[in-house]
Structure 1
Amino acid sequence: MVVQRAECRPAVNESYMKLKKLQLEELKKPLRLSQQLEKAITTNYKPVSNHTYNVEYEKKKKEEGKRARAEKPKVLEMLFSAFEKHQYYNIKDLVEITKQPVIYLKEILREIGVYNPRGPHKSTWELKPEYRHYQEEENEEEKMV
């Protein structure tokens, strides 16, 4: 609720006029200026068609060649030795450990392993209970005690 009304006007003197003149000059200045350069700038970065790390990766991949399927018992041995170290593995890690094609590795894993689609160990594989050696050892220790 408005109770009282007041109007204010500046005292028109020399200092006020100088202030207004400076404000008008600032508004007249362009926001952007163009400059003429004396020499060309050579520090621009040009696009690279293939970066060095891509070239190194391709070279490494060619040296390795395509992954050849090893015999199933040998792959099973590698998988069991890996699962002795850790209970859960990502498919990428298993491919790196066994050096086998993903499709072939998934075929074998479906036989001996269980895929965890959700939960704390999401997108990982673990051995089926009948293939787990670490649980049997714990049970034997419990029986002895």
Structure 2
Amino acid sequence: MAESRELDVTESSNSVRLPQHLDKVVTTNYKPVANHQYNIEYKRKKKKMENNWFLAFEKHQYYNLKDLEDTTKQPVLYLKEILKEIGIQDVKGIHKDTWELKPEYRHSQGEEKSD
């Protein structure tokens, strides 16, 4: 019985894998994907949310952050990220600490009727 154990140990110490000689360099080239599916979905959802924001700003010109959070049901950090792109924060005056759309995103009802 002791002899069979010695054979098992010596057999297991021999490697089944053997080195192979390669004639040329093996390279694997991966082509990058221009735009992953999750990036496309994120951008689509972001654009849809921005459209909802424009509808909200058509109702009122100024919003504070809490009201926008309640209206859009989005986290505050996400709101701030979007607002930095499409809005201006008023820091003094009557509308202190409120947000409004940048002039390039604003359009009044009167301008639409005249077109």
With normalisation by structure 1, the TM-score equals 0.45
Residues 96 and 138 of structure 1: CA distance in aligned 2, closer, same or farther (over 3 Å): same
Structure 1 SS opposite 2:110: helix
Structure 1 SS opposite 2:100: strand
Matched, 1:109 2:78: no
| Letter of the structure 2 residue corresponding to residue 108 of structure 1 | I
User: What do residues 64-121 of structure 1 show as CA deviations (whole Å, max 9, x unaligned)?
Assistant: xxxxx99211210111110000000010000111111100111101100000011110
Higher gyration radius (CA): 1
Structure 2 unaligned blocks of 5 or more: 1-41
Off by >6 Å, runs of 4+ in structure 1: none
Structure 2 partner of 1:84: 58
Q: 2:90, 2:72 → 1: CA distance?
A: 20
**Alpha-carbon distance, 1:133 to partner:** 1.6
Structure 2 partner of 1:128: 102
With normalisation by structure 2, the TM-score equals 0.57
Structure 2 partner of 1:138: 110
| Letter of the structure 2 residue corresponding to residue 89 of structure 1 | Y
Give runs of aligned pairs for residues 3-22 of structure 1, distance below 5 A.
none
Which protein, 1 or 2, shows the higher relative CO under an 8 Å CA cutoff with sep ≥ 6? 2
Percent same amino acid at aligned positions? Answer: 59
Structure 1 partner of 2:6: none
Q: 1:115, 1:88 → 2: CA distance?
A: 9
Match of 2:71 among 84, 90, 97: 97
User: What do residues 14-71 of structure 1 show as CA deviations (whole Å, max 9, x unaligned)?
Assistant: xxxxxxxxxxxxxxxxxxxxxxxxxxxxxxxxxxxxxxxxxxxxxxxxxxxxxxx992
**Alpha-carbon distance, 1:138 to partner:** 2.9
